[in-house]
Amino acid sequence: MNINWYPGHMKKTKDLLQENLKLVNIVIEVIDARIPISSKNPDFDNLFRDKKRLIVLNKYDLADPNLNKAWEAYYKSKGWSVVLYNSTNNKELRKLDNAIAEASKEIVERYKKRGLLNRTIKAMIVGIPNVGKSTLINSLAKRKSAKTGNMPGVTKGKQWIRLTGNIDLLDTPGILWPKFDDDKLALNLAFTGAIRDEVIVLEEISLKFVEKMIELNKVDAILEKYDIEQGEKPLDILDNIAYKKGFLLNKTEIDYLRVANLLFNDFRNGKLGNITLEKPEELN
């Protein structure tokens, strides 16, 4: 399987990032904690190599707690600031504010030594589609998303947002990369919804998801959720879900699309439990 997904607007977004990088002090990169490898654009490490970086492992509440700690330790070992975050929980907003302030501390101190007090810190927030970046920004901006105006970068497709703590945040559209040569990576993005369901064969992807759960020894989460037997083949699991739920087009034909929609909705909403699809050692 080879998923190609690089619309023209994503190339424009990459150009936008390069054009505005000189305006910012710090880059905040939002990653899906369930797929920290697949949801991290490989272009970013080269593009932002000279910038202070804060990694936000978003949706950590849906991921495996032990692997959350492992990924946090891994990114800290790279010299980056890291925060585990849930963008749908406003109670965690202070934790994110503190992480941004901590990541900016070195820059603030440098300004102070130069006699520049209360200097505004400019941050750029980046991430692939559907990692929760927009929800995070709305929380940070207290849902005002107000443009600060009269600054470079206030154009269609991007905006500066004034945050507490004397920080201006440059929002940018989500961006994937030109080609997915690694099937595992492409599938992980499809599983979590980073690639829109409309551009993939969801029924086929759902079978790949079942195979992934078997590989990770997480298939019991599916069996328990739908109260079914595993069967001899991965396809049997989809069949058994369909029969259990009555997802039939007629007495014998299974509605695999309906099964796939149920399975992915439950996975993406954490109803199959806390599941992380990737481990740090895979990078080695």
pTM: 0.86
* Residue 135, annotated as binding a ligand: yes
pLDDT digits (tens, 9 = 90+) for 164-217: 777 888 887 666 655 556 788 889 999 999 888 888 899 999 999 999 999 999
pLDDT digits (tens, 9 = 90+) for 214-273: 999 999 999 999 999 999 999 999 999 999 999 999 888 999 999 999 999 999 999 999
Spatial contact of 6 and 177, defined as CB atoms under 8 Å apart: yes
* Residue 192, annotated as binding a ligand: no
Report the pLDDT averaged over residues 133-160: 59
Domains and CATH numbers, the chain: 8-171 (3.40.50.300), 201-279 (1.10.1580.10)
Spatial contact of 228 and 210, defined as CB atoms under 8 Å apart: no
Locate 55 and state its tokens: 């990694």
User: To 5 degrees, how large is the angle CA 28–CA 29–CA 32?
Assistant: 140
Spatial contact of 237 and 210, defined as CB atoms under 8 Å apart: yes
Q: How far apart are CA 74 and CA 58, in angstroms?
A: 15
* Residue 108, annotated as binding a ligand: no
Q: How far apart are CA 244 and CA 115, in angstroms?
A: 69
Q: How far apart are CA 192 and CA 134, in angstroms?
A: 16
Locate 28 and state its tokens: 């905040």
* Residue 174, annotated as binding a ligand: yes
pLDDT digits (tens, 9 = 90+) for 80-123: 999 999 988 888 888 888 898 888 888 888 888 888 877 888 89
* Residue 131, annotated as binding a ligand: yes
